[in-house]
Amino acid sequence: MILLQLLRYLIYFPFVLIGVITCILFAPIICLAMDKQGNLPWWLKWFQPVDTAYGCIDTLWKLDHPDWSDYKLAYTFIRRNPFYGGCYSPFGAKGFNPVTLGNRLISDTQGISGFYLLVASNGVFQLKIIWHISSTAIIHEAGWQIHDVNHPTFGSYQMAPIRFYKYGT
């Protein structure tokens, strides 16, 4: 079963990669279509993060950057989380009660390095690796987000070949 999901993941990969690159390149233009509530029109929803109450304007992001305009908040947020809508649907997959290999308590913000591989009974998987060097976390993610059933991005396609997180930024 996991081999079928791995094949599915690899088939989706080029489509998601194109969506991510498109989002990063055209974020300045995409944000111009945002309404006053921070939502994109239906034909651009694939580029809108699904885990915020205000579309492209995340409330925590706004607290971290109170002097930024809504446009700059949206632009930086969707470049940080490119193609989230597309990764959630149609490329998402749900997997429940996964078996864990590794440490599910690893954290990019808490300084806990390691890895985990989660595999659900239907073969849906999530791999996450975090290395900490000084005050920076280097993160690799693949599979689908099945770590937290209650998170708004549960089931979304994960593609972070290498991502960096610097503490306090």
pLDDT digits (tens, 9 = 90+) for 26-47: 999 999 999 988 889 999 988 8
Is the confidence at residue 151, as pLDDT, over 90? no
What is the reported pLDDT for 169? 44
* 108 vs 96: CA distance, rounded Å: 24
DSSP 17-79: HHHHHHHHHHHHHHGGG--TTSPPPGGGGGGS-SS-TTTT--HHHHHH-TTS-HHHHHHHHHH
Q: What is the DSSP letter of 46?
A: G
Taking the domains of the chain in order of start, what are their residue ranges? 2-88, 99-166
Residue 43, pLDDT score:
93
Q: What are phi and psi of 126, to 5 degrees?
A: -140, 125
Task: Name the average pLDDT for the chain.
Answer: 86
Q: How does pLDDT run across 71-109, given as a tens digit for each residue?
A: 998 888 888 778 888 888 888 888 888 999 999 999 877
Which of 88, 124, 64, 116 shows the shortest CA–CA distance to 16? Answer: 88
